[in-house]
Structure formats: structure tokens, C-alpha cells
């Protein structure tokens, strides 16, 4: 199944400014607005996570990814309504992974609930946490990309192999920018080929070429956090050489 983790960014800071009743009203109205996109694409709402949720998609990965993109587009509409009544905009990250899982009932006789046991849940949770440092709204693994029946129907770019703290094997990740605001989507699409070429240079140790290519990306899109991360590490490796453990991955903590 495809495993989706959705979480509101900076919820702790936001919640401190609200009363308990306002917190519940905000979370419930938020979930009421975005939850239907899961069901509209044959997904199952598995668990609420305070400021977000976990959803499962037993069918095509395409449906899960469409749900992600539509939720991201809905965010702009939601924030425009918030702006009209003087509220600050909110943001969220989505991690999407596809893999095997065990779905069943856990608990004891006084309290039972449906739950999922899978490494994929932890992985999808890590993806969601990495969306912000990588400047993405939606992060997906190569397992999702390989499962897409219509991969050409989506806008995404290859971020390369990302080494995550606490995970032994690097993750091959993709930034889905299809649902991003027009300006961001246009700039990422315009620089996609150059960005992905720079990632290839980096992975084979051509740090000077990678650095120059990432710099060209940044000049066109100054908000590109992933390109900035790569640029600084390329410059470091070009100037001082790599560590003995370097294996073509980008470390993100």
C-alpha cells in the first residue's frame, strides 16, 4: 500500500497562541477540509496524529499522489480565506512511500484500535519531516515513482540519494512540485533538467561541475533549498575533498 503522512508545520508555535477550544476547532476544521481528498482517491484515513494524519491507499500509487497534489492546491485556497479574516497562513508537509505492511487490530479487551505495523510508516514520517529542509511540499520515494501507471502525468524532480540520520540505507527521493504555487512550480519546472544533471555530477564526484550547475539553478530560483544544500556541500568537497565515508549521497538531518 501507499502510506501517506500529512502534518501541519509549526503547529506547536501556532497552538500556543490559541485557547484549548480554539485549538480543537482549528484542527477539526482543517481536517474536515483536507480529509475528503483521501477518500476521493480511494484512500483510508488510518489515524489522526494531532496536527495531521496517516492515510493508506490500497490501490494505484497514482491515486495517492493525486490526493497529495490536490491537498497542496487546496492549501492556497484555504490560506486565502484565512488572510481575509486576518489569520496567518499555515503550511504542511506530506511524505508518501509505498511498501508492504501489516494492517490489523491492536490493544486489549477494554480498548482496541486498527493499526499498521511497517517500516514504511517510519519512513513516510521521516519524509514528511524532510520536506521543509529540502524545500518541498510533497516528498516521495522511488518505490512510489516505480509504481506509477502514468508517471508522465505528474511534475516531479529527482533529488538523488538522501542519507537520513538514523536510517542505514540512503533514500532515493523525488520532489513533487505539481501542486505548488504557480511561481514555485514554474521555476522548478524550468530548472528541472539542470538540477537533475547537477545531481548526477555530484553522485559521480564531479563537484566543480555540480557546484556550477547548482549555482545556475539558484540564480534562477533563489528559494530552491535543495539546490542550496547541494551547492554548499559541493563547494566544501571541491575545496577540501570528501570524507572517507562519502558514497554519493546528500546528508539531511
pLDDT band at 170 (very low <50, low <70, confident <90, very high): very high
Q: Which residues are within 8 A (CB) of 102 and not within 5 positions of it... i.e. 6 or more apart? A: 116, 117, 118
SS in 3 state form for the chain? CEEEEEEECCHHHHHHCCCHHHHHHHHHHHHHHHHHHHHHCCCEEEEECCCEEEEEECCCHHHHHHHHHHHHHHHHHHHHHHHHCCCCCCCEEEEEEECCCEEEEEEECCEEEEEEECHHHHHHHHHHHHCCCCCCCEEEEHHHHHHCCCHHHCCEEEEEEEEECCCCCCEEEEEECCCCCHHHHHHHHHHHHHHHHHHHHHHCCCHHHHHHHHHHHHHHCCCCHHHHHHHHHHHHHHHHCCCCCCCCCEEEC
Q: Is the pLDDT of residue 49 over 90?
A: no
Bridge-partner residues for 114, per DSSP?
105
pLDDT band at 166 (very low <50, low <70, confident <90, very high): confident
Angle, helices 225-240 vs 182-203, to 10°: value is 20
What is the average per-residue pLDDT within 22-26?
88
Q: Is the pLDDT of residue 7 over 80?
A: yes
Looking at 3.30.1330.20, 3.30.200.20, 3.30.70.1230, 3.40.50.620, the CATH number of the domain 2-180 comes to 3.30.70.1230
pLDDT at position 12: 84
| Domain segments of the chain as ranges | 2-180, 183-253
Q: What are phi and psi of 134, to 5 degrees?
A: -95, 5
Q: Which residues are within 8 A (CB) of 129 and not within 5 positions of it... i.e. 6 or more apart? A: 93, 95
Q: What is the pLDDT of residues 119-138, one digit of tens each?
A: 889 999 999 999 999 999 99
Query: Alpha-carbon distance 117 to 140, whole Å?
Result: 20
pLDDT at position 117: 79
Q: What is the pLDDT of residues 57-75, one digit of tens each?
A: 998 999 999 999 999 999 9
Q: Is the pLDDT of residue 146 over 80?
A: yes
% of residues, the chain, pLDDT over 70: 100
pLDDT at position 56: 95
Q: What is the pLDDT of residues 189-243, one digit of tens each?
A: 999 999 999 999 999 999 999 999 999 999 999 999 999 999 999 999 999 998 8
Q: Is the pLDDT of residue 87 over 90?
A: no
pLDDT at position 126: 93
Average pLDDT over all residues of the chain: 93
Q: Is the pLDDT of residue 253 over 80?
A: no
Amino acid at each position: 500500500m501507499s502510506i501517506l503522512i500529512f502534518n501541519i508545520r509549526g503547529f506547536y508555535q501556532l497552538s500556543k497562541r490559541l485557547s484549548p477550544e480554539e485549538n480543537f476547532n482549528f484542527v477539526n476544521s482543517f481536517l474536515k477540509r483536507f480529509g475528503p481528498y483521501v477518500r476521493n482517491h480511494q484512500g483510508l484515513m488510518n489515524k489522526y496524529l494531532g496536527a495531521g494524519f496517516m492515510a493508506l491507499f490500497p490501490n494505484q500509487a497514482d491515486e495517492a499522489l493525486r490526493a497529495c497534489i490536490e491537498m497542496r492546491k487546496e492549501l492556497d485556497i484555504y490560506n486565502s480565506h484565512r488572510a481575509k479574516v486576518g489569520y496567518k497562513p499555515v503550511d504542511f508537509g506530506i511524505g508518501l512511500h509505498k511498501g508492504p505492511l501489516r494492517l490489523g487490530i491492536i490493544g486489549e479487551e477494554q480498548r482496541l484500535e486498527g493499526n499498521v505495523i511497517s517500516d514504511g510508516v517510519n519512513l513516510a514520517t521521516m519524509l514528511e519531516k524532510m520536506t521543509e529542509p529540502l524545500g518541498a511540499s510533497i516528498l516521495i520515494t522511488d518505490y512510489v515513482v516505480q509504481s506509477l501507471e502514468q508517471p508522465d502525468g505528474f511534475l516531479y524532480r529527482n533529488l538523488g540519494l538522501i542519507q537520513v540520520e538514523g536510517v542505514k540505507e540512503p533514500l532515493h527521493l523525488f520532489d513533487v512540485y505539481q501542486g505548488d504555487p504557480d511561481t514555485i512550480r514554474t521555476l522548478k519546472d524550468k530548472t528541472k533538467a539542470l538540477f537533475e544533471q547537477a545531481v548526477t555530477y555530484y553522485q559521480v564526484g564531479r563537484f566543480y561541475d555540480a557546484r556550477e550547475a547548482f549555482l545556475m539553478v539558484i540564480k534562477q530560483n533563489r528559494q530552491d533549498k535543495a539546490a542550496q544544500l547541494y551547492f554548499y556541500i559541493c563547494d566544501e568537497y571541491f575545496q577540501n575533498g570528501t570524507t572517507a565515508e562519502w558514497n554519493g549521497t546528500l546528508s539531511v538531518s
